[in-house]
Chain A
Amino acid sequence: MTGYNFAYLDEQTKRMIRRALLKAVAIPGHQVPFGSREMPLPYGWGTGGIQVTAAVLGPNDTLKVIDQGADDTTNAVSIRRFFARTAGVATTTRTAEATIIQTRHRIPEQKLHENQIIVYQVPQPEPLSRLESSRIETTRMHGLAEYGLMHVKLYEDITRFGHVSLSYDYPVMVNDRYLMAPSPIPAFDNPKMDMMPALQLFGAGREKRIYAIPPYTKVVSLDFDDHPFRTTRAPHACGLCGATDSYLDEVVTDDRGGRLFVCSDTDHCETHRDVGHVGSEGVAA
């Protein structure tokens, strides 16, 4: 695109973000403040992820952008177009073919590999924000690794409801040191973060924070010995591909309680159908 630099950001801004990224990788789970820029997309719509992707992306990359697990959701389309326009990079919907995957709210079902980078869009990087509103205070808590507040909150949940009531953005401990917000992915995806072979980068534009998890890093969802962490998914098979291990979207099909459950990860579903799997509502490929 004429008049703008490769991948939109100017080089000085990219250097600033790159320096923050390297420190983030060296201190897994620690939120590094950065001079987040005003992007031509609204705050809260992926400006942090976009800035991270723009600082990392090169002409040899193949980019995949998903929102809610799907490549075709409008905001994913909009962000993918932004990079196709400003960087001219190849894009794909195939998880296996992508070198960089920018995501909002999901981790792909297919296991990521060592030569991939996943960039998460993060609305609220501070895992303690609902318990302590002041960032001055939460910064101090991270400095001292003082996370009692979060354990108390989870335990109160257990006493009240019988188990932890958090179902997404479920807090994790990274490398036994930092409490970290995994971004609003369903807790179902949390175990994928542990010892993931791909590099995980997190960008929060409005809150001006970058953090990272290097490959093969220990990521533990907070729990208690007598109440171990467990994930939930809708207890159904995908109506299109029949998968029983994927995270499902619930589609309302009529006004009489009709429901259809389909894979949230659209590429996973298509790949599954391409090799011949058919769900109860699907048609053979």
Chain B
Amino acid sequence: MAYVAVKGGERAIDNAHAWLAEDRRGNPDVPDLGTDQIREQLGRSVDRVMAEGSLYDPDLAALAIKQAQGDLIEAAFLLRAYRTTLPRFAASMPVETDQMQVRRRISAVFKDMPGGQLLGPTYDYTHRLLDFTIAAGTPPPKPAEMPAEPVAIPHVHGILDHEGLIERDTPAGGEPFDLTREPLAFPAGRDLRLQALARGDEGFLLAMGYSTQRGWGGTHPFVGEIRVGEASVFLTPPELGFEIDIGDITLTECQMVNQFAGSRTVRPQFTRGYGLVFGHGERKAMAMALVDRAMRAQELGETVAAPAQNVEFVVSHCDNIEATGFVEHLKLPHYVDFQSELETIRRMRADAIGDILQEAAQ
């Protein structure tokens, strides 16, 4: 029988996509999942996809999650690919998180302070027991009402700042770097680093942050404050010349208070690590703050030895869209290169056996 070269890539792709669509839908006897249900009931997934997809749009994130069958990295990729085609209208003003409408705010460094400790909707003290009433769809009990009037809650680091005990924010100089428009360049400024971390993979940052706690670039962190809530976004259209409020976004902010820097001549101060992410994402914000602080090692005169302190290493590897693409590209055909490896290894083995025989003959 004559050999016929493999053909039909086009048809194979069409068939694969049709099968995928059927697989995505699952058993048609089970009602179709609404994206509004995802937005309302899988909020933490939506938040993670918005953060790693770098696009604040809960409805699109919900669609992406549905389309990706709940694969959150794939969903973030869908948002990124959509985002890249959107026109840039303007850069917003820096978000004022001290003006946030806070629904959760805790500090580990003071027992109490202005604004108080506010647990809010947290899993922290839940016992991790599967709750079968959720499977049964039992309506939840009504929570206690929060006070309705908006109150600005001052940042905890402001309290430390009264005594000059903690380093201050440096004023932002001009428009921040945007790594979605310009190629990465090293040394990377903190604006670039924070942007990379805010878009970075939660799992990667978690592992990196964790490594600093185990001695790989430790910074003796305390949670100065974590706050979750709604912040207003302002921008100043050039044609208007004044700030306008374009809407609220949910944010999680983490301020770590870390080991002090200073000397006999420079009065010591606590240093800071910063995390800010879209939505409710405490794990990510905390890990980000740890890694941000670790990456400041060089700036603060510390030895750069651990992976989390290596800016090039962290920034080059924290993006899960880049990482997943490159890891998964290994499943593309590589048989041409493999063939060249086969020929090389066969030739080397033939040479080696030749040498062995020659030696034996002598």
The reply, when asked whether chain A contacts chain B directly with Cβ atoms under 8 A, is: yes
A-side residues, CB < 8 A to B, are 4, 8, 10, 33-40, 42-45, 47, 67-69, 72-78, 81, 104-106, 123, 134-136, 161-163, 165, 167-169, 184-188, 206, 208-209, 232-234, 239-240, 247-251, 253, 260, 262, 264, 266, 269, 281-283
7 of the cross-chain contacts (CB-CB < 8 Å) are A38-B80, A43-B326, A73-B9, A74-B9, A206-B326, A248-B339, A264-B336
A105 close to B334 (CB less than 8 A): yes
For the complex, give the distance between the alpha carbons of A84 and B1 in Å.
36
State whether A45 touches B325 (Cβ < 8 A). Answer: yes
Known: A105-B336, A136-B312. A35 touches B186 (CB 8 A): no
| Dominant secondary structure of chain B at its interface with chain A | helix
Beta-carbon contacts under 8 Å, B289-335 to A: 312, 316, 321-322, 324-329, 332-335
On chain B, the residues within 8 Å of A262 by CB distance are 3, 5
Residue B348, interface by CB 8 Å: yes
| Contact pick for A186, options B5, B321, B337, CB 8 Å | B337
Given the complex, which residues of A lie within 8 Å of B316, measured CB to CB? 135
Please state if B84 and A38 are interface contacts (CB–CB under 8 Å): yes
Residue of A nearest to B181 (CB): A35
Select one of A10, A45, A106 contacting B332, CB under 8 A.
Answer: A45
The answer to whether A78 and B13 touch (CB under 8 A), given A35-B181, A248-B339, is yes
Cβ of B263 < 8 Å from any Cβ of A?
Answer: no
Contact surface of B with A, Cβ cutoff 8 Å = 2-3, 5-10, 12-13, 77, 80-81, 83-85, 87, 180-187, 312, 316, 321-322, 324-329, 332-337, 339-344, 347-348, 351, 355
Contact A167 B341 (CB under 8 A): yes
Known: A10-B85, A42-B329, A206-B325. A249 touches B336 (CB 8 A): yes
Residue of A nearest to B88 (CB): A12
Query: Once the chains are docked, how many angstroms separate the CA of A4 from the CA of B186?
Result: 33
A38 touching B180, Cβ below 8 Å: yes
Question: What's the Cα separation between A250 and B341 when bound, in Å?
Answer: 12
Instruction: Collect the chain B residues with CB atoms within 8 Å of residue A134's CB.
Output: 312
Chain B residues lying within 8 Å of A35, measured Cβ to Cβ, are 180-183
Q: Is the CB of B322 within 8 A of A72?
A: no
B85 contacts across to A, CB distance below 8 A:
4, 8, 10
State which of B10, B181, B312, B333 has its C-beta within 8 Å of the C-beta of A135.
B312
Which A residue sits closest to B347, measured CB to CB?
A: A232
Q: State in angstroms the CA–CA spacing of A123 and B337 once bound together.
A: 13
The answer to whether residues A44 and B340 also contact, given A39-B81, A162-B348, A232-B347 and a CB cut-off of 8 A, is no
Q: 5 closest A-B pairs (Cβ-Cβ)?
A: A43-B325, A44-B329, A42-B325, A33-B183, A167-B340
Q: Shortest beta-carbon distance, B324 to chain A, in Å?
A: 7
* A69 contact from B187, B336, B344, Cβ within 8 A: B336
Contact A72 B9 (CB under 8 A): yes
Pair A72/B8 contact, Cβ less than 8 Å: yes
Q: Is the CB of B7 within 8 A of A72?
A: yes
Across the interface, do A232 and B340 meet the contact criterion of CB distance under 8 Å? yes
Distance of A206 Cα from B344 Cα, bound (Å)? 29
B339 touches A234 (CB 8 A): yes
A110-B315 Cα distance, complex, nearest whole Å: 42
Q: Tell me the smallest distance from the CB of A232 to a CB of chain B, in Å.
A: 4
Among residues of A, the one whose C-beta sits closest to the C-beta of B186 is A136
A42 neighbours in B (Cβ, 8 Å): 77, 321, 324-325, 328-329
Would A186 and B340 be within 8 Å (CB), given that A34-B183, A68-B333, A68-B335 are in contact? Answer: yes
Asked if A247 and B336 make an inter-chain contact with CB atoms under 8 angstroms apart, the answer reads yes
| Chain B residue, CB-CB nearest to A74 | B9
Expressed in whole angstroms, the minimum distance between the Cβ of B180 and any Cβ of chain A is 7
Known: A38-B80, A39-B84, A43-B322. A282 touches B344 (CB 8 A): no
Of all chain B residues, the one with the shortest Cβ separation from A232 is B343
Determine if A74 and B328 form an interchain contact, defined as CB atoms under 8 angstroms apart: no
CB distance from A101 to the nearest CB of B (A): 16
